[in-house]
Amino acid sequence: MPRPYASGIVPANADTVWEIVRDFNGMPAWHPGIASSELESGASAATVGAVRLLTLPDGGTVRERLVSLDDADRRMIYDILDSPFAVRSYRSTVRVAPVTATGEAFVEWWCHYDAEAADEAQLDKTFTRAIYATGITGLTDHLAG
């Protein structure tokens, strides 16, 4: 099973970065690849089981369910329910950790998914670069104001 991965240093403390990342409905504020987000069924952004509908800049949509929100470990896990990606299953994790030497935040983002072998290289590139690395850079830009 493929495991695309990206990481980066965000020049803010881990608690500040986590407060932004943990908002399951807040991605449009910091991820340039997300035009809008709407929680379904009036759920709270901090409620495990909440489903969000993300709209992409091209009008495509992605539905995701929050599987786990762990404030102590600064870790969020979510599944894709529906998307334009050719995956049969997809579970992603975002984790924020302190860089103790500098006071910055180390952000990791990865997933496990199942897809046709012929699609894996393109999916790995899309998830790693267009979603995760772009999102981590977006966090830095957002915090820079």
The CATH number of the domain holding residue 25 is 3.30.530.20
Domain coverage including residue 139: 5-144
pTM for the full predicted model: 0.95
CA Rg value for the chain: 15
Q: Are 34 and 142 in contact (CB under 8 A)?
A: no
Per-residue pLDDT, 1:
73
pLDDT in tens, 83-139: 999 999 999 999 999 999 999 999 999 999 999 999 999 999 999 999 999 999 999
Residues whose CB falls within 8 Å of the CB of residue 29, separated by 6 or more in sequence, listed in order: 20, 142
Residues whose CB falls within 8 Å of the CB of residue 10, separated by 6 or more in sequence, listed in order: 17, 96, 104, 105, 106, 107, 136, 139, 140, 143
Question: What's the total number of domains in the chain?
Answer: 1
Q: What is the enclosing helix (H) or strand (E) of 19?
A: helix 14-21
pLDDT in tens, 18-62: 999 999 999 999 999 999 999 998 789 999 999 999 999 999 999
